[in-house]
Amino acid sequence: MFGFSFRQRKPSSAQTAKERLQILLAHERSSGGTSPDFLPLLQRDILEVVRRHMEIDGDAVDIKLERSDDLSSLEINIELPNASPVKARPAS
């Protein structure tokens, strides 16, 4: 109730809010408001390259993005055909 010295162990929800905004806005501003719009193109290119070597379905590529303050990761899963559960998992 009184003072803030008791509450400093766990970040307050206001602190959480500020940090979430800082991370998000840093990304949105740096990309000039056009953040992950390149991803559909990236996906198209990946599909095209893989298709040069094997037959895959348009559904077979799955792209996931995870942003945090110091690092963002892009995870690309490509399901290979022939019912074999082989998965390529390059992440950068």
Partner 1 sequence: MSKVIVVTSGKGGVGKTTSSAAIGAGLAMRGHKTAVIDFDVGLRNLDMIMGCERRVVFDFINVIQGDAKLKQALIKDRRLENLYVLPTSQTRDKDALTKEGVKKVLDELREEFDYIVCDSPAGIERGAHLAMYYADEAVVVTNPEVSSVRDSDRVLGLLNSKTALAEKGDGSAVKAQLLLTRFDQTRSANGDMMSVEDVLEILAIPLLGIIPESTSVLKASNEGTPVSLDEKSPAGKAYIDAVGRLVGEQIEMRVNPGDQRRGFFQRLLGRTA
Q: Which of 9, 58, 71, 83 binds partner 1 (CB under 8 A)?
A: 58
DSSP state of 68: -
Q: In terms of Cα–Cα distance, which of 85, 46, 38 is closest to 62?
A: 46
- Residue 92 Cβ, how far from partner 1 at the closest point, in Å? 14
77 and 88 Cβ atoms separated by less than 8 Å: yes
* Shortest distance (Å) from residue 9 CB to partner 1: 16
Residue type, 15: Q
Q: Name the token pair of 52.
A: 């040069």
Residue of 46, 38, 49, 45 whose CA lies nearest to 76:
46
Q: Select from 5, 30, 34, 82 the one that contacts partner 1 (CB under 8 A).
A: 34
Closer residue to partner 1 (CB): 8 or 16: 16
Cβ–Cβ under 8 Å, residues 58 and 44: no
Binding piece for partner 1, criterion CB under 8 A, among 2-10, 38-46, 48-56, 80-88? 38-46
* Binding residues for partner 1 (CB under 8 A): 13-14, 16-17, 20, 23-24, 28, 33-37, 39-40, 43-44, 58-59, 62-68
